[in-house]
Structure 1
Amino acid sequence: MTGGRGADPVPEASGRRQEPNDAQVTRIDAAGNVVTTATTGENGSYAFTDLDGGECTVMAADRPRRPPT
């Protein structure tokens, strides 16, 4: 595996679908250590390189949005 596609678009409270762009994706090894992080692109894609073939967990979190200025 050389990377992954982020989650499919998720519904907002308004019922519109939102792409998961600019989310932080974290890869955690089997011992619970953070190995690397990535940021999703406009279409929710991200990639991890140099995977060692062991087990890992991938977690994604939306970044807080700044209000428009």
Structure 2
Amino acid sequence: MKISARNQLAGTVTAITAGAVNGQIKVDVGGGNIITSSITEEAIADLGLAVGDKVTVLIKASDVLIGK
């Protein structure tokens, strides 16, 4: 599969928190960095995600916001 997202980080699922419609997936990408993604419960089931799974985090964003 080809995709346009150039920011790809390999990691391991460390936590899955179920929600009514969307769940939160926490992925350890190394160096003490955890990325959290909110995806539908349907997508979690379709991907068969489980804690310990090796996954790739794909980041495609038109804006990067910083606040202080």
TM beyond 0.5 = no
More helix by share: 2
Structure with greater Cα Rg = 1
TM-score, structure 2 normalization: 0.28
TM-score, structure 1 normalization: 0.28
More strand by share: 2
